[in-house]
Structures are given as C-alpha cells and as structure tokens.
Structure 1
Amino acid sequence: MRIMGLDVGDKTIGIAISDLSGTIAQGLTTIKRSSNKKDFERIKQIINEYEVGMIIVGLPKNLNGTLGPQGQKVVRFVEHLKEAINIPIILWDERLTTVEAERVLIEKADISRAKRKEVIDKLAAVLILQNYLDSQKNK
C-alpha cells in the first residue's frame, strides 16, 4: 500500500508518495490551490492512479505545540477532505518542516530563490511523509 503525504498551504499543496513497501517517500507534484472541490478531485486522481491507502497531512503547530491560524486551516481542510474520500487520513506534526526543506534546498542543492518556491512544498511533503514512515519502522 502506498501512502500519500500532503503539505497544505494557502496557495499550494505539496504532494509526496511512498514506495509500495512504505519505506521511502518521494516528491510527486505540487497542486496550485483553486477550490477545495478541484483540489480534492486532483487528490482523488492521484489516490486512484497510485493506489494510495492512507494520507498523512502535515499539521503546522507552534513551537509550544498549540495550533495557530495555519494549523486551524489545515484541520478544516482535512475535515472536508474526509467527506470527499474514504481512506484514513492522519494529521502529522510538521513543526519546522518547511524551514528544514528550505535549508536543504539552500545548503545541499544550492537552488535559487525562484526555483525553491517551485519545489519547497513538494519537499516539505516528502519530509512529512518520510518522518511518518520512519516513525512506523520503530513500532
């Protein structure tokens, strides 16, 4: 079973997908947000195409563990997504994931600011999903 990782933002949704064994996450695409209906249709297409059995959605929390405005938006997004699809969806703490993604792109990949904007959400989705996959190996 493949697992999908989502990094949900106001303008884009980064999408990652696991391999069949649920060991390695890889970036798939970034959706430019338009409406929940269209976003959910695209997510459903990917679910069907890759035979996804579960979705991990990054939940942005403040450093003290509370939910800020963006975290609340993600919770609402997931509530609506659960109405549109019928596979398990797990919210996963993504504190500092986007910061880490940007650091990787700057330090390791030496990518320009313009290029970083294109791939940062997809890389954040990879980090969210990989963190989840790694946590499951230890269980």
Structure 2
Amino acid sequence: MRYLCIDLGDRRTGFASGDDVVGIVQPLEVVQASTPEAQVVAALAMIDEYGPNCVVVGLPYNMDGTEGPRAALVRTFATELLARLPKLPRVALAFQDERLSSFDAEHRLNRTGRTHGEKKALRDALAACAILEDHLRMKRGETACDAQDEGDE
C-alpha cells in the first residue's frame, strides 16, 4: 500500500511518502500554506501527484495522551480534504499521533551538518517521515524500541 503523510503546520506543511511493502519512507517537500484552503489545495496536489492508497495525517496530542489544541484544526482539515477527494479511486485517511515528530526531525537534522536555512526547509518533511514511520511500525505491531534496537545493530 502506498502512503502519503501530512504534517500540518500553521505556515508550512510537510509531506512524506512511503509504502508498507519495503517499509521505506522518504521526505517529499515542504509547502508554504498558511490558510486552510491553501493547505487543502496543497494536499490535493500531492495526492494527485503521488497516488497514495492512504493519507496519514499527524494528529497533535499532548504528552499526557489527550488531544492538543490544534487537533480540532487538523480534524477539520481532514474532513475538508476527504470531502474534496475524488470518490474513485478511493483514498483512505488515517490519523497518527505526532508527538515528538518535530523533535525526531530536529535530531536527524542536527547530525547532517546542514545550515540553519537548509534545516528549516527540511524539518516539516522529516517530521512527516517520523509520523509515517510510526504509523507503519504500529501496523506491523512493532514499538519504537524495536525499531531503535534494529538501528543499533
């Protein structure tokens, strides 16, 4: 199954793609979109270009597991996106907890030696990668610790 992940932000929206067959996730791009309409249009363009079977949208939770204040905005975005998707072929939509995805992206970027401007341009797409990796791990029944153990070998 092909996936497109969306990390919705106030000014920038990050996109990543991946699949559950080989498990590879890659950052796509970061789109400057600061209005709900611009965010939906950007997402529709990415869906049209990459043809996913499922769109995964990062849902902001607080550290205690409750939905954060932006969760309602993300849910409204997802509802509008679903309403504007073509009925065929059907594209599924799933939410994924995005806690610590920006921290993960920042951690990855700090190891690259990129400039501040280069990091800023990639941060949201890498956050979308982290969200999608979590989603695929969850579907496989793995935990973040399992993935960390594999990376240490």
Q: State the partner residue of 1:43.
A: 43
| SS of residue paired to 2:112 | coil
Distance 2:49 2:27 in 1: 15
Distance 1:33 1:64 in 2: 29
Q: TM-score, normalised on structure 1? A: 0.87
What are the equivalent positions in structure 2 for 1:1-139 lying under 5 Å apart?
Answer: 1-19=1-19, 21=21, 23-85=23-85, 86=87, 87-106=91-110, 108-138=111-141
- Is there any run of 5+ residues in structure 1 with no aligned partner, and where? none
| SS of residue paired to 1:69 | coil
Q: TM-score, normalised on structure 2? A: 0.80
Distance 2:4 2:74 in 1: 16
Residue deviations 1:21-61, cap 9 Å, x none? 36111011111104433433332232232221110111111
Q: State the partner residue of 2:151.
A: none
- Is there any run of 5+ residues in structure 2 with no aligned partner, and where? 143-153
Task: Name the larger-Rg structure.
Answer: 2
Cα RMSD after superposing both structures: 1.9
Regions of 4+ moved over 6 Å: none
The offset of 1:137, in angstroms, is 2.1
